[in-house]
Amino acid sequence: MKKSKKNDDTKTKNGGFYDPMAVTWTEKYNNQLSKVWSYVPEQLGKIIVTFAVFFLGVSINGDWINIVVHVAKQFGYYDNTSNISREFSWSGIIEYLRLQNLWSFWIGAIVSSYSIYFLIGGFLHWYYYVKQRDKAEEWKCQPNKWLSPELERHEIFWGSTTLFLNASLSAILACYISNGGYSQVYYNITDYGLIWFILQFPVLFIIEDYVTYWLHRIYHFPYLYKRFHKLHHKYKQPTAFSVTAIHPVESLHIQLFLAAPLFLFPVHWLPFYTVTFYAYYHGIIDHSGINFKAYWWQPWQPDAIFHDNHHQYFHVNFGFNIFIWDKIHGTYRRKDRVYREDLFYGEGKSIDLATADELKEELEERQAENPLAYRNDNDLLSSRSELLTTLSKRK
C-alpha cells in the first residue's frame, strides 16, 4: 500500500514509532497483543469486536447508569414516595431537587465511562489502526489518509472533556429519577397497553432520528458551524474516538433534546434505551473510518461510508440512522456536485459551475475514497472518470 509522505505519520525521523493516541497503550504492546490475539478463532474475534463497539457506544453518554436505575425500579427498588423535607438547609435543597446520593451516581458514571472509553476504545484502535494498518485498503473508508498524531491527541482531549460532561448529566438524570423525580417513564406494560409498548420502538426511533437530523443540520449553518461544530470537523478521517469529540455546548444541547421524551409523554424505559443504544452503537460505527455495511434487516440504515463522506465533504449527509431524511431534504451527497467546507446548506455546487481548482480538489477527495466501502464500487469509479473528463475539457 502506498502512503504519501504527508500522511505517513507512523515513523519518526529516527525510525521509531509515534504513540498516535498519546494516552493509550496499544502502540507499546502491539507485539504482545498480536501474539495473544493469534489464539482467538476468527469468528470469535469478530464477535468480540462487535461487542467492543457496542460497549464503547454505551460509554458515550454514561447512560448505562440510567439503565441500572430503570431495571432497579422495574423490580421494585428505588420506590421513593416519602414526603420532601421543607427544611431550609443544604440537605433539604438536595432532597427537594431529588439529588440525594448524587456523589455515588456521579463517581460510578465517570469511572465506568472512562474505563470503557479508553480500554475498549484502545482495543478497537489497536485491532484496526495498528494491527491492520498495512492492509488499510481492505477495511478503511479513506485508506491512504490518516489523522495526524496531533489531531488524534486533539480528539482524545475533546472526547474526554465531552464524555465527562455527558456522563455527569446522565448521573444527575439517573439520580433524579431514582429519588422519585418527575418523569413520564413507566414500568408496567399494561399501564398503556401492549400496542403502545410495541409502537414505541419505531415511533421513538423515527422521532429521535429526525430531530437529530435537524439539530445536526442547524449546527452546520454558518454561525453555529464556525463557533461550535467546526471543532468536530477537524477530523476529516474520523475514528471511533471522534464520536465524542464535539463542542461541549453542542453535545449537552443534543443530549438534553434526546432525553426530552422521558418527560414529555408516557414512555417505557426498555424501548427508549433500546433505541438510544442502537443510535450509540451506530455512532461508533459511523465515526470509525471502517467500511462497515448495514445488515440486510436494516434497509433504513446507511453504510459507514455515508457519515465518513460527511466528514470528508463537510456540509452533506446530515442524517445518522435513516438516510431518507437527506433524500427528502436534498442534502444527500450527489456525484454531479462538488462539496467544500465553504459551501454551506448541503446542496454543494454543480460540477458545471465549479472552477478548475474546485474540480481538482473534488477529484483528489474522490480518489481518497475506498471503492470497497460502497455497495457498488463502479459508482465511485465512474464518478471519478466523469469528473476527470470534465476537468480535462476545462484545460
Least confident of 11-25, 56-70, 156-170, 350-364: 11-25
Domain extents in the chain: 293-395
Q: Are 375 and 298 in contact (CB under 8 A)?
A: no
Q: Can you tell me the distance from the alpha carbon of 218 to that of 236, in angstroms, rounded to the nearest whole number?
A: 20
% of the chain residues with pLDDT over 90: 56
Task: Tell me 19's DSSP state.
Answer: -
Give 158's pLDDT tier (boundaries 50, 70, 90).
very high
State yes or no: pLDDT of 343 exceeds 90: yes
- Reference 76, options 203, 178, 206, 204; nearest CA is 178
pLDDT in tens, 13-52: 333 444 544 445 566 777 888 888 888 898 898 888 888 8
Q: Cell 460502497 belongs to which residue? A: 374
pLDDT in tens, 235-294: 999 998 898 999 999 999 999 999 999 999 999 999 999 999 999 999 999 999 999 999
Could you give the C-alpha distances from 71 to 64, 74, 78, 102, 211, in angstroms and in order?
A: 11, 5, 10, 18, 27
C-alpha cell at 261: 421524551
- Reference 290, options 116, 66, 125, 148; nearest CA is 125
Q: Can you tell me the distance from the alpha carbon of 207 to that of 127, in angstroms, rounded to the nearest whole number?
A: 35
Q: Are 251 and 166 in contact (CB under 8 A)?
A: yes
Contacts of residue 118, defined as CB under 8 A and 6 or more positions apart, other chains included, come to 23, 24
Strand 337-338 relative to strand 349-350, pairing: antiparallel
User: Which residues are paired to 268 by β-bridges?
Assistant: 186
Supply the pLDDT for residue 83.
Answer: 52
Average pLDDT over residues 100-123: 88
Contacts of residue 57, defined as CB under 8 A and 6 or more positions apart, other chains included, come to 277, 280, 281, 282, 283, 284
What pTM did the predictor assign?
0.87
Contacts of residue 371, defined as CB under 8 A and 6 or more positions apart, other chains included, come to 377, 380, 381
C-alpha cell at 194: 401492549
Supply the pLDDT for residue 58.
Answer: 73
Least confident of 170-174, 224-228, 308-312: 170-174
Give 327's pLDDT tier (boundaries 50, 70, 90).
very high
Ranges 47-56, 110-119, 363-372, most confident: 363-372
In sequence order, what DSSP letters do the residues of 264-313 get, joined into one string? HS-EEHHHHHHHHHHHHHHHHHHHS-B-----TT-TTPPPHHHHHHHHHH
Give the three-state DSSP class for 17.
strand
Average pLDDT over residues 99-117: 89
Give the three-state DSSP class for 31.
helix
